[in-house]
Structures are given as structure tokens and as C-alpha cells.
Amino acid sequence: MRNIKWLAGILIGLALIAVFAFARGPASIKQTKADFKDSGATYAKLCADCHGADLGGGLGSNLVDGVWEISKTTPEIEKIIADGNDEAGMPAFSDQLSSGQIKNLVQFIHQQKPVQTIKAVVNVDSIEGGVVKSEVWVDGLDAPWGLVFIGPNRALITEKPGQLRQVVDGKLLPEPITGTPEVFSGGQGGLLDVAIDPDYAENSWIYLVYSHPLEPGSDKSMTKLIRGKIVENKWVQEQVLFAAKPEHYIKSRAHFGSRITFDDKGHLFFGVGDRGRQDVAQDLTRPYGKIFRLKRDGRIPKDNPFLGYSKAYPATFSYGNRNPQGLVWSDGVLWETEHGPKGGDELNVITPGTNYGWPVISYGRNYSGSELTPYTHMDGMEQPVSQWTPSIAVSGLDVVTGDMFKDWNGYLLAGALKFKELRLIKVDGSKYISEQILIKDKGRVRDVGMGPDGAIYVTLNSPGQILRLTPNNKKEDK
């Protein structure tokens, strides 16, 4: 039985190393192969089953916490590996490893650092009622997905089935914008986010991201980014900024992403999910499971991190992102929320060229409850800033600005579909501090954003409403 477990460990390790090596490029493939030849591979083969893939312990003791209960010195540790210890349930490995291999293995163990796991956010306090009051601002929408204000009294709303709607003076206009592109509306696909150019007052550009069918009526689709203008209730002057290669359109109805945000240097960011084909999130030649960065006119920035990879999508900014659902730039930090599987929803700080690990590492499990991966950490893969287990089905993301909620300026606002919540997250620079529940059980929160009046606007895809949050004048000043 133990040999079977060892064999399973080897196969898992080989698969994960192969995926990781490919994503890191040719230079690290050589290093990974070298590691696998010696002590790293030896540990994965013979030790990880008991002492944990990250050396953090399991059936056996933690090997990186500095506490050695039985053998303390290097010669003592080498001896127990060679001879075993019946009382501790430690088998002997002298028949499988030479003395030199054992010495290298001990050196490998001593060189490893303790793993600092990211604890799940649980038992969050609610401040609903005492701090904010909510009112229905717009009703009667069909699965609203994104909201953006284009003036003090005018807003655009995307409806997932494919309509782009206008709200003027708090009233939903009966006729949608005409001339918008056909969308693939199925599963999680449809008309997704809407955003306006930072210089909208001068150029009138409006950005849309949606699930685009390969051909009219096709069930093959892919996330696409366009921009255009609205003239007399018509969508005009459309420009394609990002489209996947035709061979990368697939039949999956899952994990399209996607949100749009802008930095202060002329860049646009948006995300695409893994489309339910998790392993390809590590493949730089495929567009799935990525955050992309473009110029606002669709040009590729010259300092994008993967321009040197001939087959990579040149717009790729980060990879290993399961299904990005929120994206916002704030004070030099690109914040992202993404869906995990069963557990492991993440709050990330996105940085260029970074691998966020999906599906090699995760705090979640398969939807069946079975183990997805034994790894929550791996060298070269970034940890989330925070994570939610169980999953809250994290959604849209924005940052608090303005005078109406001035005590919260710089805090993040994050929606939760499954938990039907809006959460207020305190951060410091790029560090997570804490969070509170701002509203609960109003509906499935799909998006959140600040309005030009300073109020918080919350998009509920069910029951198809937009809520407006303002301070509760009855609350005590803090």
C-alpha cells in the first residue's frame, strides 16, 4: 500500500513539475529536471506522503518548524533516515538511498523555509443597518452584469443576455442601445463588463467585454474586448482590441471572466477565466486563466512581461488565474478577485509576469469534495493576499472614494454572489487588514461601484436591481 502511495506521489509530482516548468519557460525547465534528479525528487517520492508536500507535516512531523523531537543533529537525522524508527513509524531507507543521497536529502530539508499559509476569512462581523441605508435605484433588469456612470445623471448597464441599457435621471430607458455585437449567452457567458475611457469627456470611448461566438449562432465562444461610441442610442465606431485566435474558441459555457480597469499610465486591464479547462491556465500559448494588459487603443505595451515568448499571447500580464471576477486599480495596486472551486476564492494583488498557481496550487477542493491538489504553495507561484473558504462566490470589486464615505476612502468593496453580500475590506497599501459585511440578503451581488454623487451602487443579477447605498444618518460618528 505504501509503495502505491509513493508511486501516486511520483506521478502527481511529475505532472505538476511538467506544468510548472512549461509555464516558467526554457530556463526553469532545466533547473526543474535537475531538481527532480536529486533531493527534491527524492523527498517527493519517499517523504511527502507522510511529512507533507510542503514539509509542513501530515502523518509525520513538520520538518520546517525548527522542532526536531527525535533526531536533532544532522548525523542523527541522517541515521534515522537510513535506519528508520519503529516507535515513530519511520521506515528505513538505506536499501533505497545511498549515504550521499541521504546527506543531500537532509541538506535539502534544512534549506526549506516554513510555509506561511493564508488563513481563510471566516466569522465576519456585519455592520448592516447601523452604517448604511439602501434603496432600489433601478428595477426590472434582466440579469445585470456591469454598471458605469457616463455623466452625473446618466449610466450604462449591461444585461447578460446581450442588451446595453441606459439610465437617465434614475430611470431606465425602455429601449436598449442598438447595434451592439451578438453575444454567446449561455452558462456564464453573455454581455459582461462595461467601462468608459479615463478621458471619456474628450473622446467618448466606451469599452465592452463579452463572450463572442466564433460565428453567428456558434456554440464555440471566447471572451472578447471591444470599444465604441454611442450616438443617438446606437453603438457605432466599434474597434476590436482583443480577440482570441479562432482555434482557441471552445464549446465551454464556463469561466469567461471578466472586468475592465485602467491604471494611471494609459493601460487597460481585463481578465479571462480558464474556461473550465483548468490545466491550460498554466499554458502561456493559450488565452485562458490570464490577466491581460493593453494600451487603451489595443496596442501591446512594450514592457509586457511575455513578449519574448514567441507563441505566448503578447497581452498576457499574469497567469494561473482561475476565473477573475473583480479588477480595480487603486493607488498603484492592481487588485483582483477570482472564484476558487469548492473553497479558495481569492483576493490577489496582480503584478507583471506572476504565476498565481491555478490549478497546481489552491486552497480549494473539487466540487465533489475530493482533493484537487495537495499543494497550497509552490516555489515561483504567488499566494493570494486573502482567501475565502468556504467560497463566498466573490464578484465585482471597487475602491471607496469621495466625501460621502470619506472614513472608508481606499477601502475595497467586494461583492459575493453565493453569500448575497457586499463586503467592505480594509487594506494598507497591498496588504489585507480586515473586512466587514456591509449589506446582506438583498440579492446576488454581481457588481459594485462608486457613483459620481459619492453613493455606492450595487448590481444584483437576481432580482435584477441596482441598489443605492448612502450613509445612515442615525449612525453614530466614529
Domains of the chain: 2-111 (1.10.760.10), 132-471 (2.120.10.30)
Count Cβ atoms below 10 Å from residue 103 Cβ, excluding itself: 17
- The yes-or-no verdict on residue 116 having pLDDT over 80 is no
Q: pLDDT tens across 173-218, in order?
A: 999 999 999 999 999 999 999 999 999 999 999 999 999 999 999 9
pTM: 0.82
Residues belonging to the active site: 255
pLDDT of residue 187: 95
- How does residue 220 score in pLDDT terms, banded at 50, 70 and 90? very high
Strand partners, 208: 194, 226
- Mean pLDDT, residues 81-88: 88
In angstroms, rounded to a whole number, what is the distance separating the alpha carbons of residues 43 and 35? 10
Contact between 448 and 415 (Cβ < 8 Å): yes
Mean pLDDT of 96-122: 87
Beta strands in 315-402 (DSSP E): 316-319, 324-330, 333-338, 345-349, 354-355, 386-388, 394-399
The upper half-sphere exposure of residue 37, i.e. CA atoms within 13 Å in the direction of its Cβ, equals 6
In 3D space, the residue among 163, 173, 168, 176 whose CA is nearest the CA of residue 151 turns out to be 168
Locate 135 and state its grid cell. Answer: 434603496
Q: C-alpha cell of 54?
A: 510542503
Element (H, E) at 71: none
How confident is residue 474, by pLDDT bands cut at 50, 70 and 90?
A: low
pLDDT digit string, tens, across residues 360-412 = 999 999 999 999 998 898 889 999 999 999 999 999 999 999 999 999 999 99
Per-residue confidence band for 308, with pLDDT thresholds at 50, 70 and 90: confident
Strand partners, 354: 318
Helix axes 2-24, 39-46, angle to 10 degrees: 140
Measured between alpha carbons, how far is 278 from 74 in angstroms, rounded to an integer? Answer: 41
Bridge partners of residue 191, in order along the sequence: 210
| Radius of gyration of the chain from its Cα atoms, rounded to whole angstroms | 25
- Return the C-alpha cell found at 18: 511538467
pLDDT for res 117 = 85
Between the alpha carbon of residue 364 and those of residues 51, 123, 318, the distances in Å are 20, 18, 20
Residue 107 pLDDT level (bands cut at 50, 70, 90)? confident
SS3 257: coil
Are the C-beta atoms of 273 and 258 separated by less than 8 Å? yes
C-alpha cell at 114: 516554513
Q: Sheet containing 333-338: give its strands across.
A: 324-330, 333-338, 345-349, 386-388
Give residue 65's pLDDT band: very low, low, confident or very high (50, 70, 90).
confident
Contacting residues for 14 by C-beta, under 8 A, at least 6 apart: 36
List the grid coordinates of 363: 486552497
Tell me the percentage of the chain whose pLDDT exceeds 70: 91
